[in-house]
Amino acid sequence: MIQRMSLPFLLLVACDGGGTKDTDTGGGGEAARTFDYFVFTNEVYTGDSTCIGSDMGTVDPAKQVSVTFNGEVHDFQTENEVSEATVQFWLADDISGAADAEHTADADGKFSTTVPTCTPIAYGTFTPPEWEETVDTYEVHQVYGYVETGSIDGEWVNSVSQSTSKIIPSVIGIEWDNTTGIIAGTAFDCTETEIGNAQIFIHDGNGTPPATGEIFFFDDNNLPTSHDKLTATNPENGLWVAVNVPVGTWQVEMWGWSGTEHVLLGSTVLNILSGSVNISNIYTGHDDGIAYPDSCLMGAM
Partner 1 sequence: MLGALWLALSAASAHADAPDNWKFSLDGYYRVRGHAFWDLYEGQADAGTYMTHRVRLQPQLNFEDRAKFFMQVDALDGAVFGDNMSQASTALFAGSPSETGIDGVEGDVISVPRAWMEFKVPVGLFRVGRQSSQWGMGLLANNGDGFDDSFGENKFGSTYDRIIFATRPITVATTVANMVNPATKVRDIPLITAFGVDRLVEDPLIQYYGYTCDSGETDDDARCAAGDDHSYTSDRDPQYRPDTWWVDTQDDVYEMVYVLIYRGEDLKFGKSLVGDLTAGVYIVNRVQAETDSDVVILDAYVKEEIANTYFEAEVLTIQGGTRAITLASGNAEDPLGKEAAIWGYVLRGGYQDQRWSLLMEHGYASGDETPTDENFTGRPLHPDHNVGLLFYEEIMSRITAETWGDGAKGLWSNGGVYNSRYIFPNVRFRPLPNWELSGAWMMAWPDKPDGARILCAEGDEVECPVYSATSDYLAWEADFAIKHRWADHVNVTVEGGYAHVTDRIPLKNNGLQYETDENGATYGNYFTLQTRVAYEF
Q: Please compute Rg for the chain using Cα positions.
A: 19
Note whether 163 binds partner 1 by CB under 8 A: yes
Residue 216 CB, shortest distance to partner 1, in Å, is 8
Note whether 164 binds partner 1 by CB under 8 A: yes
Residue 221 CB, shortest distance to partner 1, in Å, is 5
**Minimum CB distance to partner 1 smaller for 204 or for 228:** 228
Residue 226 CB, shortest distance to partner 1, in Å, is 5
Note whether 178 binds partner 1 by CB under 8 A: yes
Cα–Cα–Cα angle for 8, 87, 78, nearest 5°?
A: 15
Give the SS3 label for residue 37.
helix
Total residues contacting partner 1 (rule CB under 8 A)?
48
Q: Give Cα separations from 194 to 149, 154, 283 (angstroms).
A: 30, 24, 9
Which of 174, 247, 263, 300 is the binder for partner 1 (CB under 8 A)? 174
2-41 residues near partner 1, rule: CB under 8 A: 6, 8-17, 20-22, 24-30
Residue 18 CB, shortest distance to partner 1, in Å, is 11
214-273 residues near partner 1, rule: CB under 8 A: 214, 216, 219-221, 223, 225-230
**Minimum CB distance to partner 1 smaller for 221 or for 251:** 221
Residue 166 CB, shortest distance to partner 1, in Å, is 4
Residue 43 CB, shortest distance to partner 1, in Å, is 17
Distance from C-alpha of 206 to C-alpha of 233, rounded to nearest angstrom: 24
Distance from C-alpha of 113 to C-alpha of 103, rounded to nearest angstrom: 7
107: nearest Cα among 74, 84, 127: 84
HSE (side-chain half, CA atoms, 13 Å) at 51:
19
Give the SS3 label for residue 94.
coil
232 conformational bin, left if phi > 0, alpha if psi -120 to 50, beta if neither:
alpha
CB-based contact 85:57 (threshold 8 Å) = no
Which of 167, 232, 273, 300 is the binder for partner 1 (CB under 8 A)? 167
Which of 162, 209, 263, 287 is the binder for partner 1 (CB under 8 A)? 162
Distance from C-alpha of 280 to C-alpha of 183, rounded to nearest angstrom: 7
Residue 169 CB, shortest distance to partner 1, in Å, is 6
For residue 150, how far is the Cα from the chain centroid? 28
290: nearest Cα among 118, 55, 124, 90: 118
Judged by CB under 8 A, which stretch of 90-98, 103-111, 152-160, 212-220 contacts partner 1? 212-220
**Minimum CB distance to partner 1 smaller for 136 or for 219:** 219
Residues at the site binding partner 1, with contacts judged by CB under 8 A: 6, 8-17, 20-22, 24-30, 162-164, 166-167, 169-178, 214, 216, 219-221, 223, 225-230
